[in-house]
């Protein structure tokens, strides 16, 4: 086994140094760190997972030897699916087998081949007694079967003690009769399968205004309008005005007229979020939120439309304001660094300025502004995003992340050919594929992707051409985001992570909020969602189901192994584990590049300076 500094060897990454063909990094994946007790001497009695010395850990194949967990499958065996060879666990290579199953004649059993319809999320609705609201139920059917909509028991009309609802095609009209909460069931049928969705209805009673002396909790409180932060855009860009942070203790009515947007006192639209384009200039936009008792609250934001200050040399519409980039691949810009292969500058890897990726951002807007997404592959990511996010930006982010996962909307599978070409035996499905551009997904077959590597000459590849794929050496190359998403439509961990970071930055998440992580033998991401205090860790490598809101995904020691952090602004400081949801109690890697203390002091001084400056000016 030979290695190079800062390169992959087998499935480990030689971050620091390479000696006699072996990685000598302190973060070698097979050497687990041992907790140091008081006085700096390792605890000789047991290993970090609690295994007593000279005993096997419950995590196969680890053996506790002098306080260190070492791999010893001869003594401890291997996990399921692996076998022990030369005291190392290797993946059991088995032959595909017949799983059995039941066979039926197709005739008369066609129903088995029906895919049930999917209903888009229907959020809770709030209305007043005697008030009517109307909304639509959106559903999609992959088989393009005609859909019918109804309430329970195929009813088109329901009457409960609290409300009365009727259904006309997919339009629902409800009238509040009495205050309270009610759950109604909506059923969509494609004539073979019925799919149901529960919907929460909240009927508000009339409340006296708070200036009338009534007991606390019985008076109406005023709503709070929140139009978000000021928005900067370019001429022709669709600007989305988002009022989703507005609230009211009694609940805001589910009607468009609850939110009204004004420009120079002229109404420009109604609804929680509206889309608008502006020409160059500064615009003062007012949001007026009205509650069920007609009490209003106002908030104002400035929309500043100007020529681009960043991404000046591309036609992109969606880009982050705080990027150092003005160009996209192949122009060298930004700092150079090496994750697998040397970048042509951070801006040509994390291509936040690429207009080729704008359609993906537009998909996320379509999904989150509740316009119908016609593609059934996208609907499942979109539904998850709508159901699990509280602001428009978070919804866009969740959609984009999920679409790289099992839904495989923009990237599909794992590009084994990158590893095979590099000769990484443990990550190449067949020995015969080693040092060749194989196996390739359908869309890349016969496109001429190249692998000139051999055991003696084994450099990492580089992306050279979008049009002539034969010019691109595929061996473990870190591919520009546009090529991973639009040409290869697949990749390895770095490619998935770079694509996610690029797309999320284009949505508008700040440079401190979206990060690609380089770990000792892996790459993944961090995002600090809008309104969140901490970062969420996710890993979509090879369509992994790697976004678990509120926790860390399974399958890897994500918190422990973080080494370096990157985005379009180059190499950046990594957050501490205390700032990552689910990592709070995990010991950090010694080699992690973090500027926590320096950064905090710098921020405090800057904040103090700004405060003093403001006081002096005042």
Of 102-161, binders to another protein (CB under 8 A) are 102-107, 109, 112-116, 142
For β-strands 194-204 and 231-233, DSSP reports them as: unpaired
Q: CA triplet 515, 552, 547: central angle to 5 degrees? A: 70
- Minimum distance, C-beta of residue 221 to another protein, in the bound complex (Å): 9
Residue 188 beta carbon to another protein: minimum distance, rounded to whole angstroms: 13
Cβ 563 to another protein shortest distance, Å: 13
Choosing from 20, 38, 39, 98, the residue that interacts with another protein (CB under 8 A) is 98
Closest by Cα among 327, 338, 340, 273 to 301: 273
Please give the Cα distance from 370 to 138 (Å, whole number).
Answer: 9
Site for another protein contains 538 (CB under 8 A): no
Q: Does 213 engage in binding with another protein (CB under 8 A)?
A: no
Q: Stretches 14-22, 145-153, 480-488, 527-535: which one binds another protein (CB under 8 A)?
A: 527-535
Contact 379, 140 (CB under 8 A): yes
Distance (Å, rounded) from C-alpha 119 to C-alpha 135?
14
Site for another protein in 436-495 (CB under 8 A): 442, 492-493
| Residue 257 binds another protein (CB under 8 A) | no
**Of residues 7-46, which lie at the interface with another protein (CB under 8 A)?**
11, 29
176 is a site residue for another protein (CB under 8 A): no
Q: Two tokens at 182?
A: 């009610």
CA distance 458 to 469: 20
Residue 155 phi, psi dihedral angles, 5° rounding: -80, 145
- Contacting residue, 136, 173, 185, 548, with another protein by CB under 8 A: 548
Nearest partner of 70 among 48, 91, 92, judged by Cα: 48
- Cβ contact 247:223 at 8 Å: yes
Taking the least distance from each CB to another protein, the nearer of 39 and 217 is 217
Q: How far is the CB of 514 from another protein (least distance, A)?
A: 16
Q: String of b and e for 145-170 (b: at least 16 CB within 10 Å)?
A: bebbbbbeeeeeebeeebbebbbeeb
Is 283 a binding residue for another protein by CB under 8 A? The answer is no
* Contact with another protein (CB under 8 A) among 247, 262, 283, 337: 247
Q: Considering only residues 40, 81, 146, 455, which one is a binding residue for another protein as defined by CB under 8 A?
A: 81
Determine the Cα–Cα distance for residues 384 and 367; give it in Å rounded to an integer.
Answer: 10
Contact 316, 358 (CB under 8 A): yes
CA angle 261–263–267, rounded 5-degree value: 50
- Pick 244 or 310: Cβ nearer another protein: 244
Site for another protein in 412-441 (CB under 8 A): 414, 426-427, 429
Q: With contacts defined by CB under 8 A, how many residues of the chain interact with another protein? A: 81
344 binds another protein (CB under 8 A): no
Q: Which is nearer to another protein, 62 or 319 (CB)?
A: 62
Question: Per rule CB under 8 A, is residue 263 in the interface with another protein?
Answer: no
Q: For the CB of residue 68, give the shortest distance to another protein in the complex, in Å.
A: 21
Q: Locate 309 and state its tokens.
A: 């200050």
């Amino acid at each position: 086994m030979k290695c190079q500094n800062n390169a992959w060897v087998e499935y480990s990454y030689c971050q620091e140094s390479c000696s006699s063909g072996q990685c000598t990094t302190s973060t070698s994946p097979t050497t687990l760190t041992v907790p140091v007790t008081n006085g700096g001497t390792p605890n000789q009695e047991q290993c970090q997972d609690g295994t007593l010395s000279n005993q096997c850990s419950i995590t196969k194949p680890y053996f506790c030897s002098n306080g260190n967990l070492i791999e010893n499958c001869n003594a401890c065996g291997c996990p399921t699916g692996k076998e022990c060879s030369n005291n190392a666990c290797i993946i059991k290579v088995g032959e595909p087998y017949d799983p059995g199953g039941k066979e039926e004649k197709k005739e008369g059993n066609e129903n088995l081949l029906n895919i049930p319809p999917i209903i888009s999320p229907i959020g809770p609705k709030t209305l007043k007694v005697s008030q009517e609201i109307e909304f639509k139920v959106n559903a999609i059917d992959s088989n393009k079967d005609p859909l019918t909509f109804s309430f329970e028991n195929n009813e088109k009309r329901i009457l409960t003690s609290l409300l009365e609802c009727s259904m006309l095609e997919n339009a629902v009209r409800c009238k509040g009769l009495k205050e309270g909460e009610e759950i109604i069931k909506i059923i969509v049928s494609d004539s073979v399968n019925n799919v149901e969705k529960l919907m929460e209805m909240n009927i508000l009673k009339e409340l006296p205004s708070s200036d009338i002396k009534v007991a606390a909790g019985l008076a109406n409180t005023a709503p709070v309008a929140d139009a978000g932060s000021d928005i900067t855009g370019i001429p022709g860009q669709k600007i989305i005005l988002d009022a989703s942070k507005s609230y009211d203790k009694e609940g805001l009515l589910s009607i468009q007229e609850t939110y009204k947007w004004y420009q120079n006192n002229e109404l420009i639209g109604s609804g929680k979020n509206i889309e608008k384009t502006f020409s160059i200039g500064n615009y003062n936009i007012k949001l007026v939120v009205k509650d069920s008792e007609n009490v209003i609250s106002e908030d104002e934001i400035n929309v500043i439309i100007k020529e681009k200050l960043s991404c000046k040399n591309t036609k992109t519409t969606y880009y982050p304001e705080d990027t150092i980039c003005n160009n996209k691949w192949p122009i060298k810009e930004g700092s150079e660094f090496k994750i697998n292969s040397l970048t042509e500058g951070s801006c040509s890897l994390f291509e936040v300025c690429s207009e080729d990726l704008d359609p993906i951002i537009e998909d996320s807007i379509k999904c989150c502004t509740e316009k119908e997404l016609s593609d059934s592959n996208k609907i499942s990511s979109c539904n998850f995003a709508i159901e699990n996010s509280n602001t428009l930006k978070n919804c866009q982010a969740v959609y984009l992340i999920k679409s790289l996962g099992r839904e495989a909307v923009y990237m599909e599978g794992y590009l084994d050919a990158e590893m095979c070409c590099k000769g990484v035996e443990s990550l190449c499905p067949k020995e015969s594929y080693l040092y060749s551009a194989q196996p390739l997904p359908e869309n890349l077959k016969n496109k001429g992707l190249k692998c000139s590597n051999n055991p003696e000459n084994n450099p990492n590849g580089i992306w050279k051409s979008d049009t002539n794929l034969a010019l691109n050496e595929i061996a473990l190359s870190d591919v520009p985001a546009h090529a991973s998403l639009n040409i290869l439509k697949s990749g390895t961990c770095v490619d998935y992570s770079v694509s996610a970071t690029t797309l999320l930055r284009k949505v508008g998440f700040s440079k401190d909020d979206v990060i690609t992580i380089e770990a000792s033998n892996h790459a993944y991401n961090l995002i600090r969602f809008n309104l969140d205090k901490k970062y969420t860790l996710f890993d979509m490598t090879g369509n992994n189901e790697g976004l678990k809101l509120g926790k860390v995904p399974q399958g890897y020691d994500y918190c422990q192994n973080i080494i370096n952090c990157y985005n379009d602004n180059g190499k950046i400081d990594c957050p501490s584990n205390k700032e990552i949801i689910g990592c709070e109690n995990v010991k950090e890697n010694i080699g992690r590049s973090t500027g926590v203390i320096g950064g905090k002091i710098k921020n405090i001084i800057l904040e103090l300076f700004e405060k003093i400056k403001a006081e002096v000016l005042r």
